[in-house]
Amino acid sequence: MTDSAGEPMRVAQARGLNDRTQGPERYMAMLRPALDEALAVLPPACTVPLALGLPPDRPGRPQNLASQLQSRLEAAYHGRLQPVIVFELGHAATLYALDTAGNSMRHGSIPLCLVAGVDSYLDPETLEWLDDSDQLHGGGPFNNAWGFIPGEAAAAMLVVRPDLRARSPIPMQAEVLGVSTGCETKLIKTDAVCIGEGLTQAFRQVLQCLPAEARVDNIFCDMNGEAYRADEYGFTALRTRERFFDATAFIAPADCWGDVGAAGAVLHAAMAVACSAQGYGRGPLSLVWASSEGGERAAALIHAPFVSRE
């Protein structure tokens, strides 16, 4: 496909997928390996609730995506994933899912939960919509340097209630210290000027989980090259900078794997765990945040055992 400037569209396609796999089948082709890997630590007969993050309604998204995936998950896992709760919110979806799962665990209704997200921008109609919305990154003198590279991915993580950790055979890799959400009313693709009020709300709530003297070591986020997101974070960082070692030293993986929408936050959480385990982060405390086009904002604070390289 070519963009409005006549240049080939640049995309980040998931490994192992081709253009012939489309619609819900493409989503399942990415989602199932992620779910299988997360479920591998549990007994085969264990039933697990699934909180699933999906993209919002947009041009090119498969019709009835949630119900289509739910029926396919039922057929693939024979009822092992019950119930399935869906969050069709885009970038912040899996953090909303994680927040809901955490609340259910604290109230004792569930002992564990599978939190997963899957998304793909690589539908022809979606790509054309991004181009028409001036969000598609392109090269050449007449192209958009401030757009993003459309990507696709799936990710899953198993979350266990704190009181079960000591007696559970499941290997624990990190602790979720807190999750918070916010709402931004000054949205992208409007004339309103966003000064990060919704994201600030989410940051301030989750940072209350830190001891007074502690500061966040690492930041993982879904900034993707769009000026709107950079401005939003800039205002938020100015308001909360005293809780970070360096609020400018964030990691935005979209510059490596493209914008992966609803799958991003879980992938970023996995990166937070990896950076601590391999010692290339600053320390054990990581903040993961996400910003959806519909105004949903969310952040999670993660503590992962840090292995120093020194």
All domains of the chain, ordered by start, with CATH?
23-164 (3.40.47.10), 175-303 (3.40.47.10)
| Furthest CA-CA distance within the chain | 60
In the numeric block, the tokens 């900078």 are attached to 241
Q: What pLDDT sits at residue 217?
A: 97
pLDDT along the chain (310 residues), means of 10: 90 91 96 97 93 98 97 95 97 98 92 97 96 89 87 97 80 94 97 97 97 94 96 98 96 96 98 94 96 98 88
Residue type, 10: R
Q: What pLDDT sits at residue 310?
A: 67
Burial of 85 (0-12, 13-18, 19+ CB in 10 A): middle
Answering whether pTM is above 0.85, one says yes
Provide the CB-side half-sphere exposure for 232 (13 A, CA).
Answer: 33
Q: What pLDDT sits at residue 60?
A: 97
Q: What pLDDT sits at residue 165?
A: 75
- Number of continuous H segments (helices) and E segments (strands) in the chain: 8, 9
Q: What pLDDT sits at residue 163?
A: 84
Q: What pLDDT sits at residue 126?
A: 97
